[in-house]
């Protein structure tokens, strides 16, 4: 099956169960092999409609499908680096930008040498807030910042995500949580 389940069924991601079912039935009748004998394209379309409905036809299956899509989008892209401690598509410069005065150097010019050796591939943006006191903002401070991200399980390569099979490393989730902590110097 190619394409997004929502697109295949012609519904939006916030559609109700009833609307999804109505579109599924209409499309299934239209492309059913009994109505389109000897039409290979209609048969393939019917199969993709069946698969799409299995993925988003119920509230539970739709929640699982949506989570899987979000995870795939999170893992798509990111950074490929020779440095294993990278932030996987997480641009730490975004955090600093709110604290930076216009006269200061750009944080990207201060990155370590390992960053110059990597191939940058744009991933999805990650936004996070950092609470500091007024005194810290005025006087400056070193603030620890922790960031958690999902990493595809290296043993099962994420293939058991959303299924009942259990990987001994990730417990059948297909992902592991990786925590990174950095110290940010507030100007």
> Which of 7, 25, 26 lies closest to 69, judged by CA?
7
% of residues, the chain, pLDDT over 90: 24
Residue with tokens 């507030």: 186
Residue 172 burial class via C-beta count within 10 angstroms: exposed 0-12, middle 13-18, buried 19 and up: middle
Domains of the chain and any CATH numbers: 5-57 (1.10.287.110), 74-186 (no CATH)
Rounded CA separation 24/30 (Å): 10
101-111 pLDDT, tens digit each: 444 444 444 44
127-182 pLDDT, tens digit each: 667 778 888 888 888 888 777 777 777 777 766 545 555 777 777 777 777 777 87
The whole-model pTM stands at 0.42
Q: With beta carbons less than 8 A apart as the criterion, state whether 86 and 118 touch.
A: yes
């Amino acid at each position: 099956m190619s394409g997004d389940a929502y697109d295949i069924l012609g519904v939006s991601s916030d559609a109700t169960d009833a609307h999804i079912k109505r579109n599924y039935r209409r499309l299934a009748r239209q492309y059913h092999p009994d109505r389109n004998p000897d039409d290979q394209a209609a048969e393939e379309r019917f199969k993709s409609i069946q698969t799409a409905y299995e993925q988003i036809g119920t509230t539970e299956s739709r929640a699982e499908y949506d989570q899987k899509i979000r995870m795939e989008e999170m893992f798509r892209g990111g950074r490929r680096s020779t440095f294993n401690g990278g932030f996987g598509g997480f641009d730490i410069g975004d955090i600093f930008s709110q604290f930076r005065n216009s006269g200061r150097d750009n944080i990207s010019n201060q990155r370590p040498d390992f960053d110059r050796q990597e191939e940058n591939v744009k991933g999805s943006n990650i936004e996070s807030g950092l609470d500091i006191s007024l005194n810290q903002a005025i006087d400056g401070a070193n603030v620890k910042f922790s960031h958690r991200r999902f990493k595809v399980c290296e043993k099962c390569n994420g293939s058991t995500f959303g299924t009942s099979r259990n990987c001994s490393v990730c417990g059948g989730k297909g992902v592991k949580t990786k925590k990174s902590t950095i110290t940010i110097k507030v100007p």
